[in-house]
Structure 1
Amino acid sequence: MAHASPLTQAQPAGPEAVETVPPAVDLVLGASACCLACVFTNPLEVVKTRLQLQGELQARGTYPRPYRGLMASVAAVARADGLRGLQKGLAAGLLYQGLMNGVRFYCYGLAGQAGLTQQPGGIVVAGAVAGALGAFVGSPAYLVSASDQGPPTLSPQSVLGALETIWRQQGLLGLWRGGGGAVPRVMVGSAAQLATFASAKAWVQEQQWLPEDSWLVALAGGMISSVAVAAVMTPFDVVSTRLYNQPVDGAGRGQLYGGLADCLVKICQQEGPLALYKGLGPAYLRLGPHTILSMLFWDELRKLARRGAQHQGT
């Protein structure tokens, strides 16, 4: 008699029930799904980074040319750096997505295997902890990605070359410069993404508007989740972008901001609270599609993994 595979074990019913796969499988599937999404959304990430940096760069006088609006910004980047400029930082972005989301989905899988995600609020806690760990591991790659997407004066030439330069000039800890902004950013974003996706997907299934196993269910869940992700992540995104791109002294200490709280206060004082939502349109147009595509690809890859396990079991 065939035994039930770990990929297809029944889960408790309810709005927070999430089908699980082994954590090692989730590591590969989560990283793959988010890297695929990154290829499509990286141009919007480039534009978003330029918009978030423009206030600081104009104040420093290093890049006074303003970006105004999404389409105008896309055109400005294309004129200044060519069409290839819209995919600046892609290699570092893929490395970051692979590292961060591999760790994130692996830890989330461990939480699901332990039954934490079936407890009230468990998905939020598991998503936050998994996101924080993933952001910490991926922080060096995000440092290079954020810098590479900035104006040419800030851009390193290659991922490995940039990491080596930072290590030599600032030491090992320099690779985690700006992590104080990235870790909270990904932590809240991960919690919002995974919790709202699970709840939204369950709600769509309950309405029976779509076939239960249709990919459109995951698409709808991802679309709902994307709004929550953009709302909670954008202020942290602005702060982490500023922290990563600020000039540093010989010891690797930031010359503009002392950390997450200092950056938040200075932005509000100098540019007003609404500056924390600079680039919100492009941020959503990057975070939204990335969330939708990541969750859709992840959900579909999990289905394929479970079907493969069922086929092997029979």
Structure 2
Amino acid sequence: MDFVIGGLAACGACVFRGQHAIFYKNVFHAGWVVAKNEGLRGLQKGLGPALLMHTMRNSAVTSGYTKKGYLTDEKGKTILYRSALAGAATGCAGAFLGSPLFLIKTQLQSQAAKEIAVGTQHGHSGAFQAFRGIYSQYGIFGLWRGVSGTLVRAIVGSSAQLTTFALTKDILNNYEVFRSHPVANSLVSSVVGGVFQTVMMTPFDLVSTRLYNQGVDASGKGVLYRGLTDCFIKIWRSEGFFGFYKGIGANYMRLAPHGALCLVFWDVLKDVQVKYIDTRENRY
């Protein structure tokens, strides 16, 4: 049931949040340019694979992260290192499962009208065609191309987000107003978690996106970066430290609303589950 709840929470977050646009001058300019050239549907490119990806990834993350008796002490307080380890492990598992969908989502969202196209354009007509085309040309391993980048991205991001979310909830529970309004507690805690997640994950998110979206040769190998380490080194040498934080504003606007909605939905659905179980037990 925890697996299902995690997936439903992620779907709810995806539907209400939408997808971020390509970063041009800034996130607002990018949204205006994409909408002007491709319409509102252009802002929702890749929504289908994004829903499936987040369902798979968040189901693995939240169901694994909530195992009882490991993350908290006898007083119910979050144990920092255990939370960080659990977030990293479950994030890694979810990222591996969802990597093919992340690859397809990234390539679909990178496609643009000729007037505003930047970077590699893969020419996919849709999610199913992208999946079939990549598999037929490069095999099963082609669908997991760039997985090293998203694994590190997820390890860092999930650990930072879930740990700060849990710790903030513990702190806010010391105040009556938040004990009386658990949804408000979840919302504020998720916003804090989103800030830490964005700061920690943005460099790895940038590297992961470049690995996924780079062109490939006939054997399916990237033409710009040989792998995770090579990508980090080349960005550092050519763009410096701040090159890893390009688009951090747009990244926050993408990650924070999704994370906030997902974690709030997760808490609400967990409460519904607990009440349902209690009702059944009292009935019998």
TM-score (norm 1): 0.82
Tell me the CA shift for residue 171 of structure 1.
Answer: 1.1
1:149 equivalent in alignment to 2:109: yes
In the other structure, the counterpart of 1:104 is 61
In the other structure, the counterpart of 1:300 is 268
Tell me the CA shift for residue 105 of structure 1.
Answer: 2.0
In the other structure, the counterpart of 2:237 is 269
Q: In 2, distance between residues paired with 1:100 and 1:233? A: 16
In the other structure, the counterpart of 1:36 is 12
Q: How far does the alpha carbon of each residue in 1:67-96 deviate from its partner, in whole angstroms, 9 at most, with x for none?
A: 101211101111221111000000010111
| 1:190 alignment partner, one of 155, 158, 161 | 158
Q: In 2, distance between residues paired with 1:117 and 1:256? A: 41
In the other structure, the counterpart of 1:78 is 35
The residue matched to 2:25 in structure 1 has which SS? coil
Q: In 2, distance between residues paired with 1:79 and 1:276? A: 29
Q: How does 1:86-235 map to 2 (within 5 A)?
A: 86-109=43-66, 112-113=67-68, 115-118=69-72, 120=79, 121-152=81-112, 153-235=121-203
For structure 2, the residue ranges without an aligned partner over 5 or more in a row are: 74-78, 113-120
Q: Which range moved further: 210-219 or 294-303?
A: 210-219
Residue-pair matches, total: 268
Kindly indicate whether the alpha-carbon contact (under 8 Å) linking 1:149 and 1:155 is maintained by their aligned counterparts in 2: no
For residue 249 of structure 1, what is the amino acid of its counterpart? D
Tell me the CA shift for residue 213 of structure 1.
Answer: 4.7
For residue 173 of structure 2, what is the amino acid of its counterpart? Q
Q: In 2, distance between residues paired with 1:155 and 1:235? A: 27
Moved over 6 A (4+): none
The residue matched to 1:154 in structure 2 has which SS? coil
Q: In 1, distance between residues paired with 2:124 and 2:18? A: 17
Q: In 2, distance between residues paired with 1:211 and 1:80? A: 47
Compute the RMSD of aligned alpha carbons. Answer: 1.4
For structure 1, the residue ranges without an aligned partner over 5 or more in a row are: 1-24, 52-66
Q: Give the direction of change, closer, same or farther, for the CA distance of 1:220–1:155 in structure 2 (3 Å limit).
A: farther
Q: In 1, distance between residues paired with 2:57 and 2:191? A: 22
Tell me the CA shift for residue 106 of structure 1.
Answer: 2.6
Q: In 2, distance between residues paired with 1:79 and 1:150? A: 16
For residue 98 of structure 2, what is the amino acid of its counterpart? G
Tell me the CA shift for residue 208 of structure 1.
Answer: 2.7
TM-score (norm 2): 0.91
1:258 equivalent in alignment to 2:226: yes
1:68 equivalent in alignment to 2:25: yes
Q: In 2, distance between residues paired with 1:99 and 1:214? A: 26
The residue matched to 2:237 in structure 1 has which SS? helix
Tell me the CA shift for residue 279 of structure 1.
Answer: 0.8
Q: In 2, distance between residues paired with 1:123 and 1:166? A: 37
For residue 117 of structure 1, what is the amino acid of its counterpart? L
Q: Give the direction of change, closer, same or farther, for the CA distance of 1:229–1:155 in structure 2 (3 Å limit).
A: farther
Kindly indicate whether the alpha-carbon contact (under 8 Å) linking 1:117 and 1:123 is maintained by their aligned counterparts in 2: yes
